[in-house]
Structure 1
């Protein structure tokens, strides 16, 4: 089910401003790729181009290629909504729909895609998705209660359950633990390790220890200064990036000399 993504010569704009320049990378299936770098260097902007969320912003656009299993996701005949169905996203802050129950939150994406589903199939999908997010045992007796009543870490796992319920092939995570306590963060990291058996995962994180713990490959983004575009400086196996990076800027960032 997981897919490979090949990005080549990607330039990302907000109006006439070039925000991210000349990104090329390969994201392998069933791996976790972490994106690190200082604030404002384009990591989250780049992440949003992988499921065409970037172009939801007025005036925003991307030029270049993002190819998933041979299909250019920016091709003229490709439906952006279909792309987002295959490439799910989990945001920085947990965002369960406050008026919906836990079960309704899980099914929200499926129903948004106008998929008809029987009551029995819906119940099975809720259980399957919550099991996949390691949340089922904690909430199975209160599925009809509001998702907003869960703890922060549980809410984030509920959002992951909602994302995987539509059966995507790729999961994007934009700093999914930045608003969570250490115990909830550990639960999400353990979950990421399990999910990569079935999904291709790309995670933006400011926590370099987290990148070292959860990822197979790490990409370092940097920016030359205010008004300059962010760039991918290097990407390699995580062990290589953290032990013997090829670029001095990467070494400086990881060692804390800047950023």
Structure 2
């Protein structure tokens, strides 16, 4: 299911403001890649370009190339909605649909994509997705209850179940643990390790320990100053990035000297 991502000379503008400049990288399938860097350096903006989610902001545009297993995501006639079916997104704060049951939350993406599904198939998909998000045993007896009634960590795993229900190849996660307590954070990190056997995962995190625990590769972004674009400073194996980085700025950031 998982696919590789190749980015070449990507630039992102919001109207006339260049937010991210000249980013190139290769993301391996069935791996976890962490984006780190100080606030405002373009990590989340760049993450959103990988499934064209940034386009919901008026004036946003992109230059460069993003390939999913060789297919140009910004090619002529490519439907952004189809891109987002292949590349799912989990946001910073858990966002289950508050009026929907746990079951309907899982099926929401499938229904939004106008997929007809038999009741028995829907039941199987709900169970499979909740098991995939390591949530089934906790909610199997209350699938008709509101998703908003779950704890914060459970809500985030419900959002992951909703994302994987549409069978994506890639999962993007924008600081998925920033609003969670340490126990819930540990549960999400365990889940990420499990999910990478089936999906390509890219995660934005401000937690250096989390990046070192969950990711195979790490990309460090930085910004030269106010009004300047975010740029990719260094990208490599996580173990190397946290022990013997090539760039002084990377060492200063991961060691806590700034950021």
* Same fold flag (TM > 0.5): yes
Task: Quote how far apart the aligned CAs of 1:92 are.
Answer: 0.1
Report the counterpart of residue 140 of structure 2 in structure 1.
140
* CA deviation map 1:203-259 (0-9, x unaligned): 000000000000000000000000000000010000000000000100111111111
Report the counterpart of residue 198 of structure 1 in structure 2.
198
* CA deviation map 1:71-129 (0-9, x unaligned): 11000121111000000000000000000000000000000000000000000000000
Cα distance in 2 between the residues matched to 1:60 and 1:19: 10
Report the counterpart of residue 69 of structure 2 in structure 1.
69
Cα distance in 1 between the residues matched to 2:151 and 2:252: 37
RMSD: 0.4
* CA deviation map 1:150-202 (0-9, x unaligned): 00000000000000000000000000000000000000000000000000000
1:116-155 alignment runs, 5 A limit: 116-155=116-155
Report the counterpart of residue 7 of structure 2 in structure 1.
7
1:13-28 alignment runs, 5 A limit: 13-28=13-28
- For normalisation by structure 1, the TM-score amounts to 1.00
* CA deviation map 1:28-77 (0-9, x unaligned): 00000000000000000000000000111100011100001111100012
Cα distance in 2 between the residues matched to 1:168 and 1:194: 16
- For normalisation by structure 2, the TM-score amounts to 1.00
1:1-259 alignment runs, 5 A limit: 1-259=1-259
Cα distance in 2 between the residues matched to 1:256 and 1:48: 26
Structure 2: unaligned runs, 5 residues or longer: none
SS of aligned partner of 1:34: strand
SS of aligned partner of 1:24: strand
SS of aligned partner of 2:23: strand
Cα distance in 2 between the residues matched to 1:80 and 1:256: 38
Moved over 4 A (4+): none
Structure 1: unaligned runs, 5 residues or longer: none
Q: Which moved more, 1:174-183 or 1:55-64?
A: 55-64
Cα distance in 2 between the residues matched to 1:25 and 1:161: 28
SS of aligned partner of 1:193: helix
Give the aligned length: 259
